[in-house]
Amino acid sequence: MGLAASLSFYWNGKIIMRKTAGVLPFAALVLGAGGFFLRRVELKTAFEPSGFAIPGAPVTVALVALTAAALIFAAITGLAVRARYQSAPLYERAYRSGGAALLAGCLAGLAFLIGTALYLYEAVSGGSAGIFDLVFAALAAISGFSLILLARAAFTGRFGGGLSYLSVFPALFFCLWLIAIYRENAPNPVILSYAYQITAACACAFVYYISAGCAFGKAYAGKMAFGHLAAVFFCAVALADPLPLWTRLFFGASLVFSLATGVSFFKNLSPKDA
């Protein structure tokens, strides 16, 4: 609650965070930028030529400390929001937005669709396309259309009934991707080499899942606040890894979508006694 007061979250005592809507998501982005830089340095200096991580590398310790700070920041924000504020239990009201957020959502959805095409091309050209790859691509493509339609609903204030079910697909996609990441790295004993991909996928699955609750009349303001900030941070850090372009598109799109919708979410919160 002290955090909310210190950042001047009230505006005329009625509508909160109008002037500071972008503070918290962009603070998470700044932390993520720092994490991106540290992760790049870590990948260059904290691994032996054999591929094993160097125990106690200063940059690794610094990145872990920054990650802990980002999680604490997100958790404190989530607790403060849960204690004092509420979100509308309707997606089009909880994420009501303007043209900038609509553009960000459409670009994020388009990035998902391009990433899907690149993933399928890579799988087919490599001769390894199977049922898993087709299901993965289908979920990714549906998720892309879902992001575009959700951004449109938040902009127009009109939310179709079928969109409620579409809203869960991004969360399902990242849950499946977690399985794919584990399957790809199962023989890899160096967990640090892919740890931030795992955490980014977990953060994305969580924020998409908890925000989809609004489409079903369930708004958990504190968890939503935590999820948006965590997703922005971890996606930014994960982009530092040497990833295929389609992977960068999925993480980059989720960063943009979480940032844009996060600003709208904080802007649309209202005091519990309102």
For the entire predicted model, the pTM comes to 0.89
Contacts for 151 with CB less than 8 Å, ≥ 6 apart: 97, 101, 102, 104, 105, 106, 108, 109, 257, 260
Cα 272 to the chain's mean position, in Å? 26
> pLDDT tens-digit profile of 41-93?
999 999 998 888 899 999 999 999 999 999 999 999 999 889 888 888 888 88
> pLDDT tens-digit profile of 185-236?
888 889 999 999 999 999 999 999 999 988 888 889 999 999 999 999 999 9
